């Protein structure tokens, strides 16, 4: 019989409880570290994304700097050249164009025929009116003879006074009818005369829309003139002078004209009249100049640059590109960028507009940074990023 052995202590051979506790704590610490690292990474990525989005939301803009006006005492404005006299020739009666006798570029004299219309209805109406007039005239003559005979019989007491007065009244009525018939004849003769279109003055034909066989309807508001005759021996030039310069241009003042088709050539003009009022929409005064045109170099409807010598001390404006100006209900404005990269929309006063450039009389100062080509939606307080060079699109944040 074998000796029985005591049971072994299982806890002595397994892991210690303290060891297990330490392992659990270590695993928890590691897990917390992993979570903390992940959260920190996510927060950093979110912050980076937010910073990138904010930087992307700030627009990059191109700026320009106001420049002093280099023209000094010269005031250069656009002008519109017009003929000294110009007349659009319309038809005064209905008809068909039978023939036209003048074309564009032809010199015509006052009263010269330009076209002839065929108006058979007017001819027939005139013939009927002349027949009515002859009938009324015959009745008037008979009434006149009758009235005279009754007057003789009244002197012999052969008829009553009442009967004689009736014959005289009939004569007066017949005379009125005759006069009305004659007036109708004259009216139709005048309409018949309108079938010949004539030049109102000496000049040149600058337009023609008459075509043989075309129907012409008088009094049609949508109709085009059959001819346009222009007197171009002298030309009128109309210029809108900004209010700030209106006191410096006066009647009798000379000016020089330049046209794009004649580079290097200057035409002399003289200011002849001024409207004497400032237009509410343009803020300018309309003035008229006249220039001799012996060689017909100046053409009606042409664009010209008009140069006034307004004296020294007038060129005190600042020049900006026309693309830097915003036009709204409150007038012209510019977007100025401050030191904090914030935008200030500021109203300005325009001295003159030369198309590509604009001379600003007030509202900006030299050295300020003005946004070129700003959007219409830009507002004061918007933040922008100024480009180091070149042009960039501007968008308000």
Domain 317-386: give its CATH code.
2.40.420.20
- Band of the pLDDT at 1, cuts 50, 70, 90? very low
Nearest partner of 330 among 343, 355, 353, 348, judged by Cα: 348
> In this predicted structure, what is the pLDDT of residue 57?
61
From the candidate CATH numbers 1.10.287.470, 2.60.40.1170, 2.40.30.110, 3.80.30.20, the one assigned to the domain spanning 85-198: 1.10.287.470
Banded model confidence at residue 177, pLDDT cuts 50, 70, 90: very high
What's the rounded Cα separation, in Å, for the pair 151 and 167? Answer: 9
pLDDT at 389 over 70: no
Which pLDDT does position 140 carry in this prediction?
93
φ/ψ bin of 238: left (φ > 0), alpha (ψ from -120 to 50), beta (otherwise): beta
Q: pLDDT value at position 313? A: 42
The more confident residue out of 170 and 19 is: 170
Compute the chain's Rg from CA coordinates: 47
Q: What is the pLDDT of residues 6-63, one digit of tens each?
A: 555 544 455 667 777 777 777 777 877 777 777 777 776 666 666 555 555 677 888 8
pLDDT > 60? residue 393: no
How do strand 60-61 and strand 385-386 relate by DSSP bridges? parallel
pLDDT class of 394 with cuts at 50, 70, 90:
very low
State residue 69's pLDDT score.
Answer: 63
pLDDT of 241 above 70? yes
pLDDT of the residue at 107:
95
How high is the pLDDT of residue 251?
93
pLDDT given for residue 231 in this prediction: 96
What residue segments make up the domains of the chain, in order of their start?
17-48, 76-83+231-309, 85-198, 317-386
- If you average pLDDT over residues 325-334, what whole number do you get? 86
Over the range 313-327, which residues count as b (16 or more CB within 10 Å of their CB) and which as e?
Answer: ebbebbbbeeebbbe
Whole-number pLDDT of residue 34: 75
Region of 230 on the Ramachandran plot (φ > 0 left; ψ -120 to 50 alpha; else beta): beta
pLDDT for res 397: 40
Per mean pLDDT, which of 42-51, 72-81, 134-143 is the most reliable? 134-143
Q: Is the pLDDT of residue 2 over 90?
A: no
Same fold, 76-83+231-309 and 85-198: no
**Following DSSP, what letter does each residue of 151-209 receive, concatenated?**
HHHHHTTSS-HHHHHHHHHHHHHHHHHHHHHHHHHHHHHHHHHTTEEE-SSSEEEEEE-
Give how far Cα 201 sits from Cα of 32, 109, 229, 232, Å: 104, 6, 8, 11
Residue 141 scores a pLDDT above 70: yes
Class of domain 76-83+231-309: mainly beta
Which of 9-13, 93-97, 138-142, 310-314 is least confident?
9-13
Residues with Cβ within 8 Å of 235's Cβ and at least 6 positions away in sequence, in order, are: 81, 82, 83, 84, 290, 291, 293, 298, 300
pLDDT at site 391: 44
Assess whether pLDDT exceeds 80 at residue 331.
yes
Cα distances (Å, whole numbers) of residue 25 to 28, 32, 231, 262, 263: 5, 10, 109, 96, 94
Taking a C-beta distance cutoff of 8 angstroms, is the pair 91, 175 a contact? no
To the nearest 10 degrees (0 to 180), the angle between helices 120-155 and 161-193 is 160
What percent of the chain is modeled with pLDDT above 70? 86
Mean confidence (pLDDT) of the chain: 84
Per-residue model confidence (pLDDT) at position 45: 61
Mean pLDDT of 278-296: 92
């Amino acid at each position: 019989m074998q000796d029985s052995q005591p049971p072994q202590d299982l806890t002595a051979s397994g892991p210690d409880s303290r060891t297990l506790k330490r392992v659990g704590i270590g695993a928890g610490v590691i897990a917390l570290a992993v979570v903390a690292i992940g959260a920190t990474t996510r927060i950093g990525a979110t912050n980076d994304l937010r910073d990138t989005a904010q930087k992307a939301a700030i627009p990059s803009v191109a700026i320009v700097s106001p420049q002093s006006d280099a023209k000094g005492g010269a005031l250069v404005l656009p002008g519109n050249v017009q003929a000294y006299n110009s007349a659009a020739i319309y038809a005064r009666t209905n008809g068909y164009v039978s023939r036209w006798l003048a074309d564009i570029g032809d010199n015509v004299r006052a009263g010269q025929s330009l076209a002839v219309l065929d108006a058979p209805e007017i001819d027939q109406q005139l013939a009927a009116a002349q027949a009515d007039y002859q009938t009324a005239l015959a009745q008037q003559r008979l009434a006149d003879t009758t009235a005279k005979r009754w007057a003789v019989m009244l002197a012999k007491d052969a008829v009553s006074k009442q009967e004689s007065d009736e014959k005289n009244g009939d004569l007066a009525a017949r005379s009125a009818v005759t006069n009305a018939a004659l007036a109708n004849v004259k009216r139709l003769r005048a309409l018949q005369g309108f079938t010949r279109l004539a030049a109102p003055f000496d000049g040149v034909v600058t337009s023609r829309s008459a075509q043989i066989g075309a129907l012409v309807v008088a009094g049609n508001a949508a109709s085009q003139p059959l001819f346009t005759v222009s007197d171009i021996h002298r030309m009128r030039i109309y210029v809108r002078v900004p209010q700030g310069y209106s006191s410096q241009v006066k009647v009798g003042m000379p000016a020089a004209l330049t046209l794009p088709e004649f580079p290097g050539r200057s035409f002399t003009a003289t200011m002849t009249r001024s409207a004497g009022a400032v237009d509410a929409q343009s803020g300018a005064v309309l003035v008229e100049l006249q220039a001799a045109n012996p060689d017909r170099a100046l053409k009606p409807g042409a664009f010209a640059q008009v140069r006034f010598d307004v004296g020294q001390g007038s060129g005190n404006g600042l020049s900006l590109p026309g693309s830097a100006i915003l036009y709204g209900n409150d007038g012209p404005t510019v977007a100025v960028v401050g030191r904090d990269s914030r935008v200030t929309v500021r109203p300005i006063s325009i001295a003159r507009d030369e198309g590509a450039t604009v001379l600003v009389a007030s509202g900006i100062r030299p050295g300020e940074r003005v946004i070129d080509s700003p959007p219409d939606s830009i507002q004061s307080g918007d933040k922008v990023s100024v480009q180091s060079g070149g042009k960039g699109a501007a968008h308000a944040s």
